[in-house]
Chains A and B, each alone.
Chain A
Amino acid sequence: MSATPFPARPVSRRSVLRGGLGALAASAVAGPLLTACGGDDPGGDGKDLTFWNFYGPADDANPQSKWFVDLTTKWNANNDVKVNLRYIVGKEYLSGTVLQTAFQSGEGPDIFLISPGDFLRYYNGGVLQDLSPQLTAESKADYLPGLLEARSVDGKVYGLPMEIEPLAMYYSEPAFEKAGLSEADLPKTWDQTLAVAEKLTGKDRYGVMFETLPGYYQNFTWYPFLWQGDGAPIKDGKVAFDSPAAVQALKFWQDTIQNKVAPRKALGDGGGDVVSNLGSGAAAMQQSGIWAVSDMRTKAKNFKYGIIPHPTPDGGKPATDLGGWAFVANAKGKNPEAAAKFITWALGSTDAEGIERQRQWNTVVKTNVPPRKSVQQAADAKGAFGEGVLKKFVSEIAPTGRPEPRFPPEVYQPVADAIQACQLNAADPGKAAADAAQRIDTFLQTYQGASIS
């Protein structure tokens, strides 16, 4: 169905204009037709699946890239339907145009990675394949509670998480020593944080750092502070953002800037980039995720740091956000069932090999918390979380965590605007929360799709 709708290219002088107009008219009509029917044959028995990801095969064949390559090599050796990796540069995959352009023109990948924030968009677009038929009960039960639910609708599972990435506060030992502080000074409450940060802020360093760049990541890192006061943007399908919990959380971030203990702009990749900020001495405390452990190991192995759970407000309870990407299959792809089979094999296998594969991803080539109990056991057996920072992540921090919400852009945006306005523009938190709540409410009234939280 890809007959070209263009008229024959005119070359004679008189028809240059006419041909031009003709082409314009024809294409105005053919446009939608063109886009709707482009692309490969959907559904059925393709034998070559594409797997788009942002890990490999990378040029420098780093361990994470190698894990992906080994994965598909193993699969291809034992299966008729082949899986071919396509590496897309991280930033472009995460917030660029590649996926959208591809899907819009019917050229979407058969298997790909999504973050919780993307889930509803793809689900509501009818693009996600139900993995339940290929997912064994044993496998399903192996996942930690709440993880599969975040990627399910009406009990059907649409994505398998590959990792759990909790957030925590990193602190720099050199910075604390220089300021004459010790472990006893590590803050446990918001007020203590502001006080300690003041002592740590100096000519060349800020006491504490949170993300200031607008985006999904900033929201992701802010939610724990909302949850600590038992707040949430949406509860039971209704907006609940206009609450004391939201106001105090917005104010806390505002205070760090107003008190001049946090920078308005981070270095490198932003607030989550520990190597460029904490590691270079720009910040004494920095909020980031478990991934930074692996990054520091490879890029700044001599730097001494530790982690603490997020500080809490008075009367608040500890909370953190659990991020992590998932494998999903394109329901409109070349062979959705084979794709689903691949995913459940790659991430959900309960045999020794499958568990080992997961253990490698979660503790060897990358550092994060395994989403499955059996993998956790295997990792513990190897002492992966036996001591130090990783032990703290697993024992103290991850248990207080909630999975990253799957808000669609229309909920993400008002919250993001509120955070930005309060943090950087000294807006009144009460008003900002109320404005955001109203916008979310307007959206919810016309929303028709899978449940948001």
Chain B
Amino acid sequence: MVATTAPPSKPPVVARASRRKTPMTRKRREALAAYAFLAPDVIGLLVFVALPMVLAFGVAFFKVDGFGNYQYIGLDNYKLMASDDQLWSSLRITGLYVVTFVPLAFVVSFALAMLVRNHFRGIGWVRSAFFLPHVVSLVVVGLIWQFLLVDKRGAISKLLAPLGLGDVSFLGTPSLALGTYVVISVWFVMGYQMLVFLAGLKDVPKELEDAAQIDGASASQRFRFVIWPLLRPTSFFVVVNSTIGAVTGLQAFDLVYVLTRGGPARSTSTVVLYIYEQAFTFNNMGYAAALTTVVVGLLILCTGLMFAFTRGGRFDED
């Protein structure tokens, strides 16, 4: 392949009908092109994400009865939060869930990705197998685990019976339910995160690893000094996405609703479940909106801290 070096700094004159030939044209054209490329997504995001978000947040200043009656109450919804025990309890549960789920899912899916990145016989089916839990709908996931974990008769209980644990009800015991929910979440999500890692691992040029190996680096050294640093942007992104998912995503609501509905005795009542209750059971849409702003605010804080802590995840390299 012909190795071309970058041409000198003066930009070439493009043989097309252009209005002016001053250097400003190129910059302008580049900017215009960029906006044109960005337009569809930006407009779409504004209309279908940003706008509803603003509307949703606007409702936080009202008392809404669910039938179209709005009553402006300023910051009262926020003041209510301070004395809302259930809210603090659900924030604690969500926090617990996040700090156990995110690292566990990260490690598991990363390990799986490393396991299946290089070709071997049957790699296609193995990758599909890891991904399969994510493919079936949550109704089915809920049903599967209900069946496996049902008291006494479930497969898991049968497996643990020799250890004397046959009577333990994982989803029915308040102290165990959250942990069980974490494990099920990891099972559900691992294939998805594995896929993201696999895509990111492609950014790691094979030559670098091979070169390192030739230089005598062991497997763990290759990992630490070649793979891990190059994977940092992807890792950062996975952690951020995982956190957001754990707080407000599919697992935070749909999965827990199907498995335990927030029970037993509120031990798996995540904050999103609580917001949903407020909005659709209690019909306090205004309060639910206010709660949402708080949760999103906390998420921003969280990701901001992660960003600062990892020095921007180094995904702005240019």
Asked if A104 and B68 sit within 8 Å, CB to CB, the answer is yes
Q: Tell me which of B15-23, B142-150, B184-192, B224-232 binds A.
A: B142-150
The answer, among B35, B70, B262, for a CB contact under 8 Å with A36, is B70
Which of B68, B153, B262, B266 gathers most chain A CB within 10 Å? B68
**In the bound complex, what is the Cα–Cα distance between A57 and B97 (angstroms)?**
41
Q: Please give, as numbers and ranges, the residues of chain B lying within 8 Å of A237 by CB-CB distance.
A: none
Evaluate whether A16 and B42 lie within 8 angstroms (CB atoms) in the complex, with A28-B54, A103-B68, A121-B283 already known.
yes
**In the bound complex, what is the Cα–Cα distance between A212 and B283 (angstroms)?**
24
Evaluate whether A212 and B263 lie within 8 angstroms (CB atoms) in the complex, with A263-B172, A264-B169, A410-B282 already known.
yes
Judge if B4 is at the interface, Cβ distance under 8 Å: no
Evaluate whether A106 and B167 lie within 8 angstroms (CB atoms) in the complex, with A204-B153, A410-B282 already known.
no
Closest to A36 in B: B68
Query: What distance in Å separates the Cβ of A217 from its nearest Cβ neighbour in chain B?
Result: 10
Judge if B46 is at the interface, Cβ distance under 8 Å: yes
Asked if B280 and A96 sit within 8 Å, CB to CB, the answer is yes
Asked if A424 and B54 sit within 8 Å, CB to CB, the answer is no
Judge if A302 is at the interface, Cβ distance under 8 Å: no
**In the bound complex, what is the Cα–Cα distance between A32 and B65 (angstroms)?**
13
Judge if A381 is at the interface, Cβ distance under 8 Å: no
Which of A13, A104, A204, A265 gathers most chain B CB within 10 Å? A265
Judge if B137 is at the interface, Cβ distance under 8 Å: no
Judge if B179 is at the interface, Cβ distance under 8 Å: no
Evaluate whether A213 and B42 lie within 8 angstroms (CB atoms) in the complex, with A31-B59, A204-B152 already known.
no
Q: Please give, as numbers and ranges, the residues of chain A lying within 8 Å of B147 by CB-CB distance.
A: 267
Query: What distance in Å separates the Cβ of B273 from its nearest Cβ neighbour in chain A?
Result: 11
Query: What distance in Å separates the Cβ of A328 from its nearest Cβ neighbour in chain B?
Result: 13
**In the bound complex, what is the Cα–Cα distance between A204 and B161 (angstroms)?**
12
**Which residues of B in the span 30-74 have a Cβ within 8 Å of any Cβ on A?**
31-32, 34-35, 38-39, 42-43, 46, 50-51, 54-55, 58-59, 62, 64-70
**Which residues of B in the span 164-180 have a Cβ within 8 Å of any Cβ on A?**
167, 169, 171-174
Closest to B31 in A: A13
Asked if A260 and B167 sit within 8 Å, CB to CB, the answer is yes
What band does the interface of chain B fall in when counting residues whose beta carbon is under 8 Å from A? 35 or more
Judge if B240 is at the interface, Cβ distance under 8 Å: no
Evaluate whether A264 and B280 lie within 8 angstroms (CB atoms) in the complex, with A24-B51, A125-B66, A424-B172 already known.
no
Which of A20, A39, A108 gathers most chain B CB within 10 Å? A20
Asked if B54 and A127 sit within 8 Å, CB to CB, the answer is no
Evaluate whether A11 and B39 lie within 8 angstroms (CB atoms) in the complex, with A264-B151, A425-B265 already known.
yes
Asked if A424 and B173 sit within 8 Å, CB to CB, the answer is yes
Asked if B167 and A100 sit within 8 Å, CB to CB, the answer is no
**In the bound complex, what is the Cα–Cα distance between A248 and B9 (angstroms)?**
87
Judge if B281 is at the interface, Cβ distance under 8 Å: yes
**In the bound complex, what is the Cα–Cα distance between A332 and B34 (angstroms)?**
49
Q: Please give, as numbers and ranges, the residues of chain A lying within 8 Å of B264 by CB-CB distance.
A: 212, 214, 264, 420, 424-425
Asked if B66 and A103 sit within 8 Å, CB to CB, the answer is yes
The 16 sampled A-B contact pairs (Cβ below 8 Å) are A23-B51, A27-B51, A27-B55, A31-B55, A96-B280, A100-B283, A103-B66, A104-B64, A108-B67, A213-B261, A214-B263, A263-B169, A264-B173, A265-B146, A332-B67, A425-B267
A-B pairs with the 4 shortest C-beta distances? A264-B172, A13-B35, A424-B264, A264-B169
List residues of chain B with CB under 8 Å of any chain A CB: 31-32, 34-35, 38-39, 42-43, 46, 50-51, 54-55, 58-59, 62, 64-70, 146-147, 149-153, 167, 169, 171-174, 260-267, 279-283, 285
List residues of chain A with CB under 8 Å of any chain B CB: 9, 11-13, 16, 20, 23-24, 27-28, 31-32, 34-36, 39, 95-97, 100, 103-106, 108, 121, 124-127, 203-206, 212-215, 260, 263-265, 267-268, 282, 332, 409-410, 413, 417, 420-421, 423-425, 427
